[in-house]
A and B are shown apart, each in its own frame.
Chain A
Amino acid sequence: MRTKNLEEPMEDAISDERFAQFVERARSSMSAKPADELAAGHLSAIVVAASDPTLVNAPFRPKLARKRSRRLAAKLAAATAGALMALGGLAYAGVLPQKLQDALSDAAGKAGFTVPASQEHRQDLANHQANSGSNGKSVSGDVHKVLNDTTLTGRDKGDAVSNVASQNRENDSHPTSTASPQSHDSSESQSHKDQPKKP
């Protein structure tokens, strides 16, 4: 029994001189040597990929990865902006429930907005100033330095304020300096300025 030769039509056709010439011309003229610059770029990428197994095994989707990352950042910013818009001035006034205020402050800080942290942070500060008594100058001075620091935002600023206030609280047990009434007054007035206004 004769085995069916799948290649027969092409073999027969190639025996036709005109068709054989066509195939040869097609092979040579349709092959397109890549430009030197392009070939050099491709070869660099190939060599890097071949020498780095992590790149070789990873799916080659750099554009997709970048797009996903951008989409995620945009979603985060949009969600924060949406939440800020929805909660309006409450967030900026710092009078939302503590957890929500801190969460918004944190998210807003990441998205590039400045929203104060919860009132608890500020209350801590006020209490501490009231309790610090003779040590009031150092408390308010250090804390206000942090409060006026524009490089800190949101929760980071709140944490920094708490840290400074805690340090000063520890110093209270070993008072080393005496503050003048004038300085205490001025710091207190500044402290009132920083307190969020209740609606």
Chain B
Amino acid sequence: MTIAEFASVLDAARSAGEWAWKTIYDEFAPQVLGYLRAKGAKDPDDLLGEVFLQVVRDLPRFSGDEREFRAWVFTIAHHRLLDDVRARGRRPVDSTSDEQLERAGPVGHGEAEAVERLVTSEIEEVLRSLSQDQSEVMLLRILGDMKINEIAETLGKRPGAVQALQRRAIESIKRRLERDGS
């Protein structure tokens, strides 16, 4: 989307234009859902809906271009995820979610999907090998296309600390990729 196109989409969204919200949802929902899943949200689908409702609620206060909008949406997603984790911490832990079971289930999928799942699980494995902070930084960097300053603000850390986390994460990933020969 060009800068002008995105600006017109935002204007239409502010006037409750259905097409504009569909454009925004189609453009950003897949990455946000991927982020929520990778972070182990219990019900990522439900959380995705909450994220977008907050986007609707807070849109009048937003100003910026498409990249900044993406970063802003990911900041909301991160905060909703934290709320979800805190709420879950107060409730008893229950069994594996349907979401996780569906993703783990090997039956009824085509070869392409199986290969894609393998790639995804490889990537997830690489990210899991990082510390929690490192993987958070990398996810916001890769999926949210966020800058160091934005990630620092979202995570409540100093930019220098986020930069160090990213540097260590990149080194760790590179070592892993070299070792695996991929």
- Asked if B33 contacts A32 (CB within 8 A), the reply is yes
A residues contacting the other copy or chain, number (CB 8 A): 34
* Stretch of B2-10, B14-22, B62-70, B89-97 contacting A (4+ beta carbons < 8 Å): B14-22
Write the chain B residue with the least CB distance to A38.
Answer: B45
Taking the nearest CB of chain A, how far is it from the CB of B138, in angstroms? Answer: 8
Q: Give the nearest-CB partner of B149 in chain A.
A: A6
Contact call B16/A47, Cβ cutoff below 8 A? yes
Tell me whether B141 and A41 are in contact (CB under 8 A): no
For the complex formed, measure the closest distance between the CB of B120 and the CB atoms of chain A, giving whole angstroms. 4
Q: Which residues of A contact B155 (CB under 8 A)?
A: none
Q: Is the CB of A42 within 8 A of B25?
A: yes
- Taking the closest CB of chain B, its distance from the CB of A39, in whole angstroms, is 7
B163 at the A/B interface (Cβ < 8 Å)?
Answer: yes
| A-B pairs with beta carbons under 8 Å apart, 18 shown | A6-B148, A6-B159, A6-B163, A16-B174, A18-B182, A19-B173, A19-B174, A22-B182, A27-B31, A29-B119, A30-B37, A30-B120, A38-B48, A43-B25, A46-B21, A49-B53, A60-B54, A60-B57
Main SS class of interface, A: helix
B135 to chain A: closest CB distance in Å?
A: 11
A74 CB to nearest chain B CB (Å): 19
**The one of B38, B149, B170 that contacts A13, using a Cβ cutoff of 8 Å:** B170
User: Which residues between 16 and 74 of chain B lie within 8 Å of chain A, taking CB atoms?
Assistant: 16, 18, 21-22, 25-26, 29-31, 33-35, 37-38, 45, 48-50, 52-54, 56-57
- Known contacts A10-B166, A39-B29, A49-B56, A31 near B143 by CB under 8 Å: yes
Flag if A22 contacts B148 (CB, 8 Å).
no
In angstroms, Cα B57 to Cα A19, docked, is 38
- Are the C-beta atoms of A49 and B167 separated by less than 8 Å? no
A43 in contact with B22 given A19-B174, A19-B177, A56-B57 (CB within 8 Å): yes
Minimum C-beta distance from A4 to chain B (A): 9
With A43-B21, A60-B53 in contact, is A51–B174 under 8 Å at CB? no
Q: A35-67 toward B: CB 8 Å interface, digit per residue (1/0)? A: 100110111011101110000110010000000
A7 within 8 A of B: yes
- Give bound CA distance, A27 to B105, whole Å: 23
In this complex, the member of B31, B37, B38, B49 whose beta carbon has the largest number of chain A beta carbons within 10 angstroms is B49
Residues of A within 8 A of B57 (CB): 49, 56-57, 60
A78 within 8 A of B: no
The reply to whether the CB of A23 lies closer than 8 angstroms to some CB of chain B is yes
Cα separation A13 to B56 with both chains bound (whole Å): 36
Q: Does chain B have a CB within 8 A of A34?
A: yes
Q: In the complex the two chains form, is A50's CB within 8 Å of B16's CB? A: yes
Task: Determine how close the nearest CB of chain A comes to the CB of B46; give it in whole angstroms.
Answer: 9
A-contact 0/1 string along B108-147, CB 8 Å cutoff: 0000000010011001101100000000000001110001
Contact yes or no, A42 B52, CB < 8 A: yes
Alpha-carbon gap, A23 to B166, bound state (A): 13
